[in-house]
Structure 1
Amino acid sequence: MTVPMPKKIIGFGNPLLDISANVDQAFLEKYDLEADNAILADEKHVPMYEELAKNYKAAFIPGGATQNTMRVLQWLLQKTPGLTTMVGCVGTDEYAKIMSDQAEADGVHTAYLRDADTPTGTCAVCITGQHRSMVANLAAANNYKESHLDSEGIWDLVKSADIGYISSFFLTVSPPTIQRVAKHFAESNKLFCMNLSAPFLPQFFKEPMAAALPYCDIVFGNESEAAAYSEANGLGLTDVGKIALAIAALPKEGDTGVSRMVVFTQGPDCTVIAKDGNVTKYDVNRLDESEIVDTNAAGDAFVAGFLSQVAKGNSVEESVRCGHWAAQLIIKYSGCTFPPTCEFK
């Protein structure tokens, strides 16, 4: 019996080169950072990237939320390279080459817009024990333009993809791109997915998020992002399951034949899924704390695990199981890195 090829997935987001290093509490205080938080860099954060690269044993890893998910997805699928495609904007510098070479080596097709006038975006991943604080300096990633869709065969890649995915970080960059791509997926009855990504996004980018949500078949997030969405939209809800139900019930465009699903993770606590007016909870097998190296990219890996099984046509239960497995594997490594061979069964 021939096993069918998994569906193709295209991701739009902010390609960033992660500069990942173990730091101390004094470093966090110096740059006014909080553990387990993700923010955009402002002027006071600019010196930290050079400081990490020069004074700490920093690792350079292809990053950015969407790119993390595409890399882990390709690794999980372990099939022909190019089942996953990453679209975003980078510079033409050495950082862009490092990132592109590593992502392509992982089997991800990188369809970057290249900006010769702006350096490649970076993300400082400041690790303290089992916690991380991420500070993204978007740089070139902030310069993605919708016009890129009509060049370099990008729209052909969109049309050939079966699943579309964005992180909400991309809402800060190019809402017109999101709208155009999302509408294509809705009109073509294909699956479109979005991740809430960070609490500040539903708080401060409420309008572009509201514009994108009607096109979303699957919405991912975690408990803090759910709470931020509830507060920003005046839902008056604190229960994660009820917030998930409220998002699932929002108006929906397109006719993929499925109702919207909302998937909220809660770290070591149960994953909550809302669909068709019902909430289902999936327990997480807790890791021993001694196994946890770095929680960076755990959420991105969960999405990759989940979508890898969706791409194979497997059940929601199997999708959650793979999501939990991928997240737990990633946090055993520093940064968004993984062993050569995927052993998920």
Structure 2
Amino acid sequence: MASERVLLGMGNPLLDISAVVDRDFLSKYGIKLNDAILAEDKHKPMYEEIASKYNVEYIAGGATQNTIRVAQWMLQVPGATSYMGCIGKDRFGEEMKKSSKSAGVNVHYYEDESTPTGTCAVCVVGGERSLVANLSAANFYKSDHLKRPENWALVEKAKYFYIAGFFLTVSLESILLVAEHAAANQKTFMMNLSAPFIAEFFKDHLEKVFPYMDYIFGNETEARTFSRVQGWETDDVEEIALKLSALPKASGTHKRIAVITQGADPVVVAEDGKIKLFPVILLPKEKLVDTNGAGDAFVGGFLSQLVQEKPIEDCVRAGCYAANEIIQRSGCTYPDKPDFK
């Protein structure tokens, strides 16, 4: 059984604003179907418009927050998970708080009064969706918030920490504070490669934190990009996973484990110089609704078993189960109760 506040996540909270819209709305803002983009100035008014004109669903999103929500859902233990990130003091921020709390996550948001809450418009037309993300307040998290006694208490209480690579673009100082605490106190610190651009453009930040990582997650594209940037001259995912697991560590308490997903192909786990492959749950095409959030959900399922000190086989199985559930639904959402045995 997981204890209260055992798992802490930090990241970029984005409120997903999901609605079925019409093609005129897409044309007005120059949005293509099945695209995922960062908002430009021309997109800024669309968030209020979608919220006022359409029947919208609000979902607390952002990569780390998705993972923590899924872990919380899998655990079914109130307050087992905590989360920190920056939101604005506005209507969307209030929706984010409501959504997170109803998911059972213990959220301690830093509220920036001068910047709006980060949002991601999920525009659905004929079952196809386009994503337009506006980071806004998520970009302004400060380590001063982490150092506040009520927030640092969450760090001291947690035994496991998970941060998506996207947060490297926001607050390296916060990540290092948590990483160093984990190493000094024999706790488990985990990160995700998150996107190819992290390995390419935030290489220095990644290299500063890598020695503290007890687990590193990623998909095959991110792993291959990391390999290329490091000059490893291999595209072989198993070989890359072994190299990731063998990079130097700041603390000898845990050997690093690398976990690389490959879509419908087996999950690669590198541990102790050995590779294990785990098949995923194959889903008939007609049942696939939306792969958005599948990677986040995999890690959430994985962590739900890890914090209960289950073997790696159970962690991967739970990750595959959670990802399989999420891709059969719109957005990173899930049934009321998990059916994982």
TM exceeding 0.5: yes
Structure 2 match to 1:71:
69
Q: Which moves more between the two structures, 306-315 or 227-236?
A: 227-236
Say whether residues 1:147 and 2:153 are aligned partners: no
Shift in alpha-carbon separation, 1:129–1:266, aligned structure 2, 3 A? farther
Shift in alpha-carbon separation, 1:56–1:70, aligned structure 2, 3 A? same
Structure 1 match to 2:337:
341
Q: How does 1:274-313 map to 2 (within 5 A)?
A: 274-313=270-309
The superposition leaves residues 235-274 of structure 1 with CA deviations (integer Å, 9 ceiling, x where unpaired) of 2211111111111111111132x31011111111111111
Deviation of residue 188 (structure 1)? Answer: 0.7
Aligned length: 340
Shift in alpha-carbon separation, 1:245–1:135, aligned structure 2, 3 A? farther
Contact in 1 for aligned 2:4/2:79 (Cα 8 Å): no
Q: 1:101 is matched with which residue: 94, 98, 101?
A: 98
Q: How does 1:154-303 map to 2 (within 5 A)?
A: 154-256=151-253, 258-303=254-299
The residue identity in structure 2 corresponding to 1:185 is A
Deviation of residue 91 (structure 1)? Answer: 0.8
Contact in 1 for aligned 2:5/2:82 (Cα 8 Å): no
| Aligned equivalents of 1:242, 1:168: Cα separation in 2 | 21
Contact in 2 for aligned 1:297/1:336 (Cα 8 Å): yes
The residue identity in structure 2 corresponding to 1:145 is K
Shift in alpha-carbon separation, 1:170–1:152, aligned structure 2, 3 A? same
Deviation of residue 105 (structure 1)? Answer: 1.2
SS in 1 for 2:261: strand
The superposition leaves residues 186-211 of structure 1 with CA deviations (integer Å, 9 ceiling, x where unpaired) of 11110000011112111111111111
| Aligned equivalents of 2:2, 2:145: Cα separation in 1 | 32
Contact in 1 for aligned 2:58/2:99 (Cα 8 Å): no
SS in 2 for 1:153: helix
Say whether residues 1:319 and 2:315 are aligned partners: yes
| Aligned equivalents of 1:221, 1:242: Cα separation in 2 | 14
| Aligned equivalents of 2:268, 2:237: Cα separation in 1 | 7
Shift in alpha-carbon separation, 1:112–1:6, aligned structure 2, 3 A? closer
The residue identity in structure 1 corresponding to 2:159 is D
Contact in 2 for aligned 1:36/1:131 (Cα 8 Å): no
| Aligned equivalents of 1:231, 1:280: Cα separation in 2 | 23
Shift in alpha-carbon separation, 1:270–1:51, aligned structure 2, 3 A? farther
Task: Give unpaired runs (5+ residues) of structure 1.
Answer: none
The residue identity in structure 2 corresponding to 1:251 is P
The residue identity in structure 2 corresponding to 1:168 is G
| Aligned equivalents of 2:232, 2:130: Cα separation in 1 | 28
TM-score by length of 2: 0.92
Shift in alpha-carbon separation, 1:177–1:265, aligned structure 2, 3 A? same
Contact in 1 for aligned 2:188/2:214 (Cα 8 Å): yes
TM-score by length of 1: 0.91
| Aligned equivalents of 2:201, 2:41: Cα separation in 1 | 19
Shift in alpha-carbon separation, 1:133–1:45, aligned structure 2, 3 A? same
| Aligned equivalents of 2:125, 2:239: Cα separation in 1 | 33
The residue identity in structure 2 corresponding to 1:325 is Y
| Aligned equivalents of 1:134, 1:215: Cα separation in 2 | 33
| Aligned equivalents of 1:167, 1:297: Cα separation in 2 | 13
Task: Give unpaired runs (5+ residues) of structure 2.
Answer: none
Deviation of residue 50 (structure 1)? Answer: 4.5
Structure 2 match to 1:61:
59
| Aligned equivalents of 1:234, 1:33: Cα separation in 2 | 35
Q: Which moves more between the two structures, 28-37 or 181-190?
A: 28-37
Deviation of residue 21 (structure 1)? Answer: 4.1
| Aligned equivalents of 1:296, 1:183: Cα separation in 2 | 32
